[in-house]
Structure 1
């Protein structure tokens, strides 16, 4: 069964909330690589905001949302301290936020499909760089990003220490 990706719709909010909750429950019972916290991030509010801003995308397998991310021309403040491969204004950069794959669908290439989609979308929009941050211990996600030719740039503090999340790695993929 193939996976296709489309923009998120308001009718997806319930299913996205469940995906986030399932991922957070799984992380609480296993190793919480992503550092997400149920009820804090990501939540239904994050999904609804992404849908309202028209920048949330969902990966669908069969009739189930199995993954999602948000693309914005905006970064976290800590990105400004990094020495990126190319000095660009954010109209030429897309930042990947809230990158998730349902734990029941991990290791099926869905993360790579989402990243490929982001790259194609960036090309269509004339964007020159994809950027993201990842919690420093999130080895599964780091593996996916590096496998998809994202390059490590720096490690920064995003100001989330109150949640026990101090260091985040920044990655970038230049689009040619």
Structure 2
């Protein structure tokens, strides 16, 4: 089981939508946060989820991610991670100006299917992403919500808090 680079991310949109919905269900609707949605769909409403998440996913796949990787088991996506490092000219309003520079590499869209939790897949994906950014000469950052389980996970993995930014928190991997 290896980490595969997705050359044409938009072609995987349907499969990724299903994967992200499984994460949404498995986290009881906590992730993705869908913070822009007034009334979040219930965790058994795929159609409602698709309606609010698909345009956002399409935007991210087509215009935001510089690289996308998936981890599969038996042909099924069980984990994802994306890298965003060409910040110039991108609508990344959620990235503070203080860290917008050519050395910044963001780890985004980092998820593992909750039914595979605790098997080391997240660590494998995260180490891969940090290593890939290092290869590119970038410093690894994560922008997340402080109330998510992911926050303490990143702290355990050697990230440190750089700053609060609105409702987000900015973390950086110390080399």
Give the equivalent residue in structure 2 for 1:160.
Answer: none
Q: Deviation at 1:79?
A: 1.8
RMSD: 2.7
The separation in 1 between residues aligned to 2:108 and 2:114, in whole angstroms, is 18
Q: How far apart are the structure 1 equivalents of 2:94 and 2:61?
A: 23
| Count of matched residue pairs | 153
Gaps in structure 2 of 5+ consecutive residues: 35-39, 41-48
2:96 alignment counterpart: 79
Q: Provide the TM-score with structure 1 as the length reference.
A: 0.72
Q: What is aligned with 2:44? A: none
Q: Which has the higher strand share?
A: 1
User: Among residues 117, 120, 127, which one is paired with 1:116 in the alignment?
Assistant: 127
Is the 2:107–2:141 Cα contact (8 Å) retained in structure 1? yes
Q: 1:132 aligns to what SS in structure 2? A: strand
Q: Aligned pair in 2 of structure 1 residues 14, 56: CA closer, same or farther (>3 Å)?
A: same
3-state secondary structure, aligned to 2:96: helix
> Could you state the TM-score of these two structures normalised by the residue count of structure 2?
0.73
Structure number with the bigger relative contact order (C-alpha 8 A, sep ≥ 6) is 1
| Shift in Å, 1:44 | 4.3
Preserved contact between residue 47 and residue 56 of structure 1 (Cα < 8 Å): no
Q: Which of 63, 67, 70 pairs up with 2:79?
A: 67
